[in-house]
């Protein structure tokens, strides 16, 4: 048994014994493949943990190893004189001052992201020192890296930094020319353009990072706006329907004082509707919790019978007709279509209670292989309920729901004063 144990709260992996079967050279390749996969998963998890730990260190600590490695490489005798050369002067022997040039050009790289201006100033000073004393140590190659970091992370006085660096480079070129450097003017120009390109790379990185941050901000704002709209839509659908039913039932109770039995039934209906509203609101609040696991149940087309019965108890005669209802739970896409179907019927019945109380209302739902068709209508013969006027938000929310699934929605007034709500909701296959 080959066993690899990982402690400190991580999972414990037990590797199946690798067995030889049917001869000394025939292996059980299924077990070998299984063990290899487990090794890969363990290595990937270990690498992830190391990367996570490394990212938790301060940026200065993470940038320091590169500077130290460059300084150590610059001390190797085989790499003496292998650095950047401006002016093409003969390399001078390595002495004590060369250590100063190496330190100035490598150690400030540790703060190239935290304090880019300080890092650039020190590295530039070391670079000038190195070129004037003609050491050309390997550490002089840190100058382009310092320029890239400054262009990417320097927030203020970038133009001043460009002017000062250009002036320092011009002074360096003049001084090297006075020392007898054989470099032609075009050579100085080409090297200056190379340094400018390094600065431009840093500026490009900075602009790319800023654009990405702005894009993420826009996405976050759009996501928050969409979530607020969704919550407002859900609250409207839940609260409006239940409260409208309670208002209608309470209004009817005024005229039932002479009939205690019917009054008791109406008040019971009001109480039940209020409890159902509280339950739906609690369900919505559970969905908004950060630790919600997403398994809470949402209304579907299968709950239409309870919705219709609640509307009937509010005094609205409703006839429900369902065709080809699926016997088993559908796919995720089909369940989304059923949820929208429920909301369409709910809003239509709410409007019927508000604007045509007592009018016979017909609900027809047809479940197809690829879509669900909904029709809700009445003749408008009822009376307007004693409830606040609608804002039109409910129908607009339904249209948004249906459009999000690629369907069609319409709500129109009939010639006789009634209304008709129709929706075609794509659902895919219920299997």
* pLDDT tens digits along 288-332: 665 555 545 567 667 888 888 888 877 788 899 888 877 666 677
How confident is the model over 411-420, as a mean pLDDT? Answer: 79
What domains are defined for the chain? 2-56 (no CATH), 59-183 (no CATH), 218-426 (3.30.565.10)
Is 192 buried (19+), middle (13-18) or exposed (0-12) by CB count in 10 A? middle
Angle at 249 between CA 243 and CA 250, to 5 degrees: 85
Kindly state the tokens that stand for 319.
Answer: 């006839």
Task: Give the residues across from 420 on adjacent strands.
Answer: 377, 412
CB atoms within 10 A of CB 100: 14
**Poorest-pLDDT segment among 65-74, 191-200, 238-247:** 238-247
For 90, 94, 161, 176, the CA distances from 85, given in Å and listed in that order, are: 10, 15, 23, 11
CB atoms within 10 A of CB 368: 14
In 229-294, DSSP assigns E strands to none
pTM: 0.55
pLDDT tens, residue by residue, 393-411: 677 878 888 888 888 998 8
Share of residues in the chain with pLDDT > 70 (%): 77
Residues whose CB falls within 8 Å of the CB of residue 159, separated by 6 or more in sequence, listed in order:
none
How confident is the model over 94-109, as a mean pLDDT? Answer: 91
**Beta strand pairing status for 361-367 and 318-323?**
parallel
What integer pLDDT is reported at residue 289 of this predicted model?
64
Top pLDDT among 254 and 396 is at 396
8-state DSSP, 27:
B
Q: Is 154 helix (H, G, I), strand (E, B) or coil?
A: coil
CA dihedral 316, 317, 322, 326 (to 10 degrees): 50
Range among 12-16, 122-126, 252-256, 410-414 with highest mean pLDDT value: 122-126
Say if CB 152 and CB 206 are below 8 A apart.
yes
């219709």: which residue's tokens?
308
pLDDT tens, residue by residue, 129-150: 999 998 889 999 999 999 999 9
Phi-psi region of 12 (alpha: psi -120 to 50; beta: other; left: phi over 0): beta
Share of residues in the chain with pLDDT > 90 (%): 23
What integer pLDDT is reported at residue 93 of this predicted model?
87
Average pLDDT score, the chain:
79
Kindly state the tokens that stand for 234.
Answer: 């859900």
């Amino acid at each position: 048994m080959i066993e690899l144990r990982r402690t400190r709260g991580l999972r414990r992996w037990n590797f199946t014994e690798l067995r030889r079967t049917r001869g000394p050279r025939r292996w059980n390749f299924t077990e070998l493949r299984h063990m290899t996969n487990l090794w890969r998963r363990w290595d990937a998890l270990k690498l992830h943990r190391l990367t996570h730990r490394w990212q938790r260190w301060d940026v200065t600590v993470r940038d320091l190893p590169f500077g130290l490695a460059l300084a150590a490489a610059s001390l190797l005798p085989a790499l003496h004189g292998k650095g950047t050369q401006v002016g093409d002067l003969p390399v001078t022997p390595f002495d004590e001052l060369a250590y100063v040039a190496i330190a100035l050009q490598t150690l400030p790289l540790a703060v190239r992201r935290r304090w880019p201006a300080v890092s650039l100033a020190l590295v530039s000073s070391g670079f000038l020192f190195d070129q004037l004393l003609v050491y050309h140590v390997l550490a002089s190659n840190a100058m382009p890296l310092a320029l890239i970091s400054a262009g990417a992370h320097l927030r203020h006085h970038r133009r001043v930094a460009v002017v000062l660096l250009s002036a320092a480079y011009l002074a360096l070129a003049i001084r090297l020319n006075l020392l007898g450097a054989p470099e032609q003017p075009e050579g100085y120009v080409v090297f200056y353009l190379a340094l400018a390109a390094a600065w431009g790379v840093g500026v490009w990185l900075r602009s790319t990072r800023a654009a990405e941050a702005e894009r993420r901000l826009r996405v976050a704002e759009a996501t928050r706006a969409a979530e607020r709209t969704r919550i407002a839509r859900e609250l409207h659908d839940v609260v409006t329907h239940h409260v409208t039913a309670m208002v209608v039932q309470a209004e009817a109770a005024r005229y039932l004082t002479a009939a205690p039995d019917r009054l008791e039934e109406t008040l019971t209906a009001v109480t039940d509707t209020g409890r159902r509203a509280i339950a739906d609101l609690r369900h919505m609040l559970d969905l908004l919790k950060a630790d919600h696991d997403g398994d809470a149940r949402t209304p579907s087309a299968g709950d239409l019978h309870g919705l219709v019965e609640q509307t009937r108890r509010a005094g609205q005669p409703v006839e429900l007709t369902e065709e080809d209802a699926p016997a088993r739970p559908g796919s995720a896409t089909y369940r989304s279509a059923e949820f929208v179907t429920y909301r369409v019927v709910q809003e239509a019945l709410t409007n019927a209670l508000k604007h045509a109380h007592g009018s016979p209302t017909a609900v027809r739902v047809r479940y197809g292989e690829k879509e669900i068709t909904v029709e809700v209508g009445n003749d408008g013969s009822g009376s307007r309920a004693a409830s606040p006027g609608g804002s039109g938000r409910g129908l607009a929310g339904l249209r948004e729901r249906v459009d999000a699934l690629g369907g069609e929605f319409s709500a129109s007034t009939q010639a006789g004063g009634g209304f008709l709500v129709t929706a075609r909701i794509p659902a895919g296959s219920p299997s």
